[in-house]
Amino acid sequence: MELVANVMHRYVMHGSMWNFHEDHHQKDIGFFEKNDVFFVIFALPSMLLIMGGFFFSNLYAYALGLGITIYGLCYFLVHDVYIHRRFKFLDNFSHPYLDGLRRAHKDHHSHIYKEDGENFGMLWVPLKYYSKQFKDSVSCAI
Ligand SMILES: [Zn+2]
Ligand SMILES: [Zn+2]
């Protein structure tokens, strides 16, 4: 799923669906963003796969739907709660991996145009972001 999410973010959200993703790269949009439509877009195939897998006894479809749902839950907790602090219940949580993950995503947000970009994935963190030197060097729009 991390690979799928990376490719979708790089080529779809920063591609043909940039209109929905653009406000996620801007400051002070408010609580809701047009970018939130992606929760619905990714929920649809997972719901259909889970229901289809259940009703037609297809374990592969069921597992695929469940995998997308679990990744979506991780995405919500990591991206929306931990990184962007839309909800405040993970604010005091620190770990070298999670700190690196936050730095990498903030670097993604330092680019505000469709064409620019790096770190399109969420859970894969390049090694350089584990370095303490990176801590305060990232300028970003979030
Ligand atoms: Zn983006
Ligand atoms: Zn973000």
* CA of 108 relative to ligand 1 center, distance in Å: 7
The ligand whose atoms approach the alpha carbon of 121 most closely is: 1
The ligand whose atoms approach the alpha carbon of 142 most closely is: 2
Per-residue pLDDT of the chain (142 residues; tens, 9 = 90+): 899 999 999 999 999 999 999 999 998 778 899 999 999 999 999 999 999 999 999 999 999 999 999 999 999 999 999 999 999 988 888 888 999 999 999 999 998 888 888 999 989 999 999 876 665 544 444 5
What is residue 133's predicted lDDT score, i.e. its pLDDT? 63
What is residue 142's predicted lDDT score, i.e. its pLDDT? 54
The ligand whose atoms approach the alpha carbon of 21 most closely is: 1
Dihedral over Cα of 129, 78, 106, 116: its sign? positive
Distance CA(111)–CA(125), nearest Å, equals: 17
* CA of 9 relative to ligand 2 center, distance in Å: 11
Q: What is the DSSP string of 51-94?
A: HHHHHTT-HHHHHHHHHHHHHHHHHIIIIIIIIT-SSSTTTT--
The ligand whose atoms approach the alpha carbon of 85 most closely is: 2
What is residue 141's predicted lDDT score, i.e. its pLDDT? 46
* CA of 45 relative to ligand 1 center, distance in Å: 21
| pTM for the whole structure | 0.84
* CA of 84 relative to ligand 2 center, distance in Å: 7
What is residue 134's predicted lDDT score, i.e. its pLDDT? 62
Among the listed residues 43, 44, 62, 42, the one whose alpha carbon sits nearest the alpha carbon of residue 52 = 62
The ligand whose atoms approach the alpha carbon of 114 most closely is: 1
What is residue 90's predicted lDDT score, i.e. its pLDDT? 86
